[in-house]
Structures are given as structure tokens and as C-alpha cells.
A and B are shown apart, each in its own frame.
Chain A
Amino acid sequence: MCDTINNIINIVGKEVVRTVIGLVGVFIVVLGNAIMLTWTERKVAGHIQRRIGPKEVGPFGLLQSFADSVKLLGKELLTPANVEKPLYYLAPTLIFVPVLVTFVVIPFDGFLQVKDINTGILVILAFSSLTVLSILIGGWGSDNKYSLIGAVRSVAQNIAYEIPLLLSLLPIIFMANSFSLRDVVEAQKGLWFVVYQPIAFLIFFIASVAETNRTPFDLPEAESELVAGFHTEYSGMRFSLFFLAEYTNMFIVSAIAVTFFLGGYQGPILPGVVWFFMKTYLLVFVLLWFRWTFPRVRFDQLLNFSWKILIPVSFLNLLVTGGILKL
């Protein structure tokens, strides 16, 4: 058995085996996370509204997400008559690519990282902005006015909030002196960057809520105005891919926030992975908490907030950080 494995490793090379195993692990994390989060979201929503949420399927309703996914898998894949077929089919698949790629560079622990790319942060930012492309494609291809409005809103919103997102990460890169995510985490050995950069953290978190299209910035979906926004015309498994991507995106922005501001996998006593997931899920809980507290903002408020407040403040923050570091 061992010989066979060694032979395989010798033939295809260590790097390939490592990447394949890593990708399998990433898939497991993505699916497990989505299944966990759908349940958590409903439980948190329930308790905030002082009811108990799902409880019938399995203990504490833990198997509810499995029941839901089986139902969604069993549903017919409806394709409306006038859709732009290639775009319509491409969108749900495309939304999953950036999600998987971003996972590759996130350091879950000192050694637990699929690949440490020395421009890791650029990879994350470049690929996470691909999400908006698939939303645009899906909304455009659906031949539905609600989908189109949702998609157009999403584009405007993502462009507006990508800028403060980037600008709030730049001071961290200044301070860590590296684009690699592992170096950023290692630079936080003494004090977490959130202590040095509270404003950047705040801006990053607000912008990432907008990037993941979560309430109070869920204008692309806006179920009370736009039916379901860009995924109005999607059903069955295609819809659940959008859903899965949303929950994975929540995990990713929280993981990036943890990596950049909250010390990543660092923490006393417990192993790094445990610390990483604990911090990440704490932030995810905050995202859920936001969703069940805040009402949706109006579209002009949304854009004004980004262009008039977040971007100037993050520029100022960058300037001050640069000045202090130079001194």
C-alpha cells in the first residue's frame, strides 16, 4: 500500500499530490461549512426572534440542511423559455470558481495551507471580484427584469465597495511587508493588527458585508423588492449553488478578516486550526447577527456611504499609516 502511494507520488510529483489532497480538503470544508451555516443561520434567526428554529429533523434539527439539500437535488431544473442559454447555464458554475480558488491561499494553520503564493492577497482580491461577474451573467441571461435590476445593482455595489476593501488591506501589507498570507499572520505574533488598525478592520468588515451581498447591503437579492434578485429564475440545484456560494463567501470574508486583523491561526494552548475556525465562526456569527438586526439600506445611501465616507476615511487611514511607518 505504502509502496503504491510512494510510486504515485514519484510519478506525478509531490506538488501535484499536495494540491489534489488540498483541493479535496477545501471541497470538504466548503460543503461542511455551507451545511453547518444554513442550519446556524436558521437557528440564530429563530432565537433572535425568540422561537427555536428547525428542530424536527435529527437532534436539534441538525439534519435539516441534509433534508433541504436532498429536496433541492430532487427538484426539476427548470429553464425559462427566453433565457440566454450559455450565460444562464454558466453563471451558477462560474460563481463557484472564485470561491474555491480563494480557499487555496488561506492559511488554516502554520502548515495547513494548500499553497502559499507570495502574492496571496492579490489572488484573493482578484478572484473574489469574479463573483460579481457571475451575478451579472446570471441576471443578464435570465431575461427577467428583477434579475436584471438585481444584477446591475450588484455591479454598482461591488465596484463601490471593492475600493475600500482594497484600501483597508493596504496598511496591513505595509506593516507586514509582504503579500503572502502566511507572512501576514506571522507578523502578528506579538499584537494582532486589529489593535494597530481598528479603523481599517471596521472598514474591511463593512465592505465585506457589502461584497457578500448580505443584509443590510443585500440589494442584489432584496427579496421584498426584487422577488429574489439575480437568482429569481434559478431553481433546484442551480439555485442551491448560488446559495452555497453565498455561505462560502461569508466564510471567506471572515477568514480573510481573521487572517489579516485577528492573528489568523495564532492563539495559546489550543492548536492553530481550532483557533482559526473559532475566530472565523465568531465573525460569521456577527454577520448573521447583522442580518437579523439591520434593515436594508436604500440604494443611494449604500453608494453614498461607500464613496463619501468609507473611501475617504480609508485613504486617510492609509496616509497616516504610511506616514507613521516612514517615521
Chain B
Amino acid sequence: MRVVADIIKGAYSLIVGMGVTIRAFFSPVVTCQYPRETVNISPRFRCHTKLVGDPENPDRTKCIVCGMCERNCPSHSIKKVEGEKKEGEKKKTATSYILDFTTCSQCGICVESCPVDALEFSDDYNPVGLKREDFHYDLVKEYEKRKKAV
């Protein structure tokens, strides 16, 4: 008698399993066909930092070249934060801001320490390069490139 009960129970479990797979068969696909389509990057995603443009004067970034980020960076990934004072302006304008992305751990201390909120994380999640120097970004140049593209 126990054998018969086992067979019925087993057969029932098999049918349940087949129900699960056939439901999956007819439900929509969940994968993203990567090179053809890309998923939306979540707003909190951390890739390398980027400089934010000044809303009043789009030619310059918000950066005032105070050097807080350079000083606070735990891995010394930020170098050569330099700038000049342009005529008629009170603040300095950044002319160079080198981020060594090979040593950056995306901790976000630079973003937090910036007094004028000139830094934020970009969503450039797939940077590629053939040599180490490809990941030494000059964020000022990168900002200008971005501005041209818009």
C-alpha cells in the first residue's frame, strides 16, 4: 500500500514540476541582450567621478580648485587639481583634474568632501583601455568633451 501511495505522490510531484517549467516557458524573457540593448544604470551606481557644469556659466565647471578632494583621497588617486583665475570672476576655474582610475576604489570621499558639489559619479560602466594610462582621466577635458557632445 505504501508503494502505491509513494508512486502517486511521486507522480504528482513530477506533474507539479512540469507545471513550473511550462509556466516559465510561456512567461516573458528576463535577460537583456547586451550588445543590442543595455539595462538602465541605477542612479546610485558608482563609476569614476565626473565634474558638474556650472549652471550659470556652462563654459566652466563648478570646481573652485580648493584641493579638498585631492587632500582627502585615501588612495591618492586625484592629482594635479590646478586652475586659474579668469578675469572678472571671483572663483578659480579648473584647468586640470587628473583622476587615476586604476587605484580609485569609488569610496566617494571626494564627492562628499567637495564644498561646492562639483563632483558626482558618472554612469560610464564599461570603460576599456589597452594600457594603464588609458584610465588616467582628465576630468576637465572629459567635461569639455561632454559639453561638445550635447
Contacts and interface: CB of A to CB of B under 8 A. Distances in A.
Interface of A: 44, 47-52, 55, 289-290, 292-294, 309
A293 B29 contact: no
A76 to B, nearest CB: 31
14 contacts: A47-B25, A48-B24, A48-B25, A50-B27, A51-B29, A51-B30, A52-B31, A55-B33, A289-B18, A290-B18, A293-B18, A293-B20, A309-B3, A309-B7
Contacts of A55: 33
Contacts of A52: 29, 31, 33
Interface in B18-36: 18, 20-22, 24-31, 33
A316 to B, nearest CB: 13
A294 B14 contact: yes
Given A294-B14, A309-B7, A50 B21 contact: no
Contact of A289 (B22, B28, B33): B22
Interface of B: 3, 7, 14, 17-18, 20-22, 24-31, 33
Contacts of B3: 309
A57 to B, nearest CB: 14
A294 B29 CA distance: 21
Top-7 shortest CB links A-B:
A51-B31, A293-B21, A50-B30, A47-B25, A48-B21, A48-B25, A293-B17
Residue with the highest number of chain B CB atoms closer than 10 Å, among A44, A48, A51, A309: A48
B17 A50 contact: no
With most chain A CB atoms within 10 A of its CB, the pick from B17, B27, B29, B33 is B29
A173 B144 CA distance: 84
A293 B22 CA distance: 9
A294 B14 CA distance: 8
Given A293-B17, A309-B7, A50 B22 contact: no
Contacts of B24: 47-50
A318 B21 CA distance: 34
Given A47-B25, A48-B24, A294 B31 contact: no
A52 B33 CA distance: 9
A50 B14 contact: no
A255 B17 CA distance: 25
B30 A289 contact: no
Nearest to A53: B29
Nearest to A286: B18
A49 B30 CA distance: 9
